[in-house]
Amino acid sequence: MVYLHHLASSPCSSLHLFHGNRHLSSNQIRQFLNIGRPHPLHHGHTPKQDFLLPFSECEFSITSAIEDIHSTFDFTSATRPPRCTGVAISVALGLLESCLVTTGARIMLFTSGPATIGPGIVVDSDLRQPIRTHHHIFNSQARHHANSCSFYDQLSKRLSDASVVLDLFACSLDQVGAAELRQPVEQSGGFMILSESFESDQFKKCLRHMFKPDDQGHLKMNFDATIEIVTTKDVKICGALGPCVSMHRKNSLVSETEVGQGGTSLWKLNTLSHKTCIAFFFQVNQQQIIQPGSAFLIQFITRYRQGNMGCRKRVTTAARRWVENHSADIAAGFDQEAAAAVMARLAILRALACHPRDVIRWLDDTLIRFTSKFGDYVAEDPSSFRLSSNFSLYPQFMFHLRRSQFIDVCNTTPDETAFFRLMLNREGVVGSLIMIQPTLFQYSFDGPPVPVLLDIRSVSPDFILLFDSFFYVVIHHGSKIAQWRKLGYDKDPNHENFRKLLEAPELDAEQLVADRVPVPRIIRCDQHSSQARFLLAKLNPSVTQNSTYTDGSDIIFTDDMSLEVFLDQLQTCKLSDTFTVIRMVLSIRLVLKI
Domains of the chain, residue spans: 2-210, 222-322, 343-572
* DSSP bridge pairs for 227: 267, 302
Write down the architecture of domain 2-210 according to CATH. Answer: 3-Layer(aba) Sandwich (3.40)
How many angstroms separate the CA atoms of 204 and 110, rounded? Answer: 13
Alpha helix segments (H runs only) across 352-473: 356-374, 394-402, 414-424, 429-436
pLDDT of residue 315: 97
For residues 551, 553, 555, 560, the Cα torsion angle rounded to the nearest 10 degrees is -80
Kind of pairing between the strands at 15-18 and 2-5: antiparallel
Contacts of 270 (CB under 8 A, 6+ apart): 104, 159, 160, 163, 164, 165, 187, 188, 189, 190, 223, 224, 225
**Higher confidence at residue 451 or residue 218?**
451
pLDDT, tens only, 370-414: 988 888 887 777 777 888 888 999 999 999 999 999 999 988 999
Nearest to 223 by CA among 300, 307, 301: 307
Nearest to 330 by CA among 391, 395, 392: 391
pLDDT band at 101, cuts 50/70/90? low
- Least confident segment among 237-246, 288-297, 354-363, 480-489: 288-297
Query: Does residue 576 surpass a pLDDT of 50?
Result: no
Q: How far from chain centre, in Å, is Cα 379? A: 41
How many angstroms separate the CA atoms of 398 and 396, rounded? Answer: 5
How many angstroms separate the CA atoms of 408 and 94, rounded? Answer: 38
Alpha-carbon torsion (415, 418, 424, 427), positive or negative: negative
Tell which CATH classification among 2.40.40.20, 3.40.20.10, 3.40.50.720, 3.90.1570.10 matches the domain 343-572.
3.40.20.10
How many angstroms separate the CA atoms of 438 and 454, rounded? Answer: 8
Query: Does residue 578 surpass a pLDDT of 50?
Result: no
- State phi, psi for 476 to the nearest 5 degrees: -110, 115
Class of domain 222-322: mainly beta
Contacts of 165 (CB under 8 A, 6+ apart): 104, 105, 106, 107, 159, 188, 189, 190, 223, 270, 271
Q: What is the DSSP letter of 523?
A: E
Nearest to 280 by CA among 593, 592, 588: 588
Q: What is the average per-residue pLDDT within 447-464?
A: 94
Query: Does residue 498 surpass a pLDDT of 80?
Result: yes
Helix (H, G, I), strand (E, B) or coil at 398: helix
The reported pTM is: 0.89
Counting other chains too, the contacts that 333-336 makes at CB distance below 8 Å and 24 or more residues apart are 334/374, 334/390, 334/391, 335/587, 336/390, 336/391, 336/392, 336/393, 336/394, 336/397
pLDDT of residue 581: 29
Kind of pairing between the strands at 439-444 and 222-231: unpaired
DSSP string computed for 209-220: HHT-B-TTS-BS
pLDDT of residue 36: 66
3-state helix, strand, coil in the chain (%, to 5): 35, 20, 45
Query: Does residue 126 surpass a pLDDT of 60?
Result: yes
Query: Does residue 46 surpass a pLDDT of 70?
Result: no
- Least confident segment among 128-142, 161-175, 390-404, 539-553: 539-553
3, 87, 113 from 18: Cα distances, Å: 7, 8, 20
Query: Does residue 550 surpass a pLDDT of 80?
Result: no
**Rounded mean pLDDT of the chain?**
88
Q: Do 563 and 540 meet the contact criterion of CB atoms below 8 Å apart?
A: yes
pLDDT band at 37, cuts 50/70/90? low
Burial zone of 550 (CB within 10 Å; 0-12 exposed, 13-18 middle, 19+ buried)? middle
Same fold, 2-210 and 343-572: no
